[in-house]
Amino acid sequence: MLTTENILFLTLAYLVGAFPSAVWLGKTFYNTDVREYGSGNAGATNTFRTLGAKAGVPVLLMDILKGWIAVNLIYCLVDNQLLSDEKFFEIKLAFGIAAVIGHLFPIYTGFRGGKGIATMLGVMIGIYWQAALFSALVFIITFIISKYVSLSSIVASLAFPLIVIVILPHQNANSSLIIFSIFVPILSLITHQKNIERLIRREENKAKFGKNK
């Protein structure tokens, strides 16, 4: 049941997720709007490509932190200790999804955001950090082999439900966790649609991070 307090915190979670890390950092310290270069996305990967690691790493960390902070807003709820375990998890999940939506469609920058992968990772860490780190390891291995950030993100997201359900099943797993684990790859496939098309055509660029303005 939605309460006024829950609605207010859902809105706050969205606003946290909508914080335009890439745009803010690029404009403030490099006088550059990363959305005008590379893929045009306001995310960590495009920041790496456009402005290099010194800008990309902080943006990546901030985007991950946005998801983690949103999930943990539940501890600010007045009655959080009175919630059942399942309801507690569902509210955390709702806050996390609100943050991802905020990153995808940020109100601060005309609703032009990134692909939500780093923020989703922050949500995953806040909800089930063991599975999140396992998924991150899959990303790293795939990236080392392929050098494609997009492919690595897709493979890691596809691995997440397998990790949650089969490899590292949570002792308190419920239907919401299972549904969330399936939602992760669906979101990744939707936001990476153009990347998938380029991968099929063998036109996707491999990672070459640096200042490419």
For 138, the token pair is 């899959």
112: exposed, middle or buried (Cβ count in 10 Å: 0-12, 13-18, 19+): middle
User: What is the residue-level pLDDT of the chain in tens, covering all 213 positions?
Assistant: 678 998 999 999 999 999 999 999 999 999 999 999 988 899 999 999 899 999 999 999 999 999 999 999 999 998 888 888 888 889 999 999 999 999 999 999 999 999 999 999 999 999 999 999 999 999 999 999 999 999 999 999 999 999 999 888 766 567 888 999 999 999 999 999 999 999 999 999 888 765 555
| Predicted structure pTM score | 0.90
For 151, the token pair is 């492919």
For 9, the token pair is 């915190």
For 174, the token pair is 């419920």
Nearest to 172 by CA among 128, 122, 117: 128
Residue 58 parent element (H or E): helix 53-71
| Distance of alpha carbon 7 from alpha carbon 95, whole angstroms | 10
173: exposed, middle or buried (Cβ count in 10 Å: 0-12, 13-18, 19+): middle
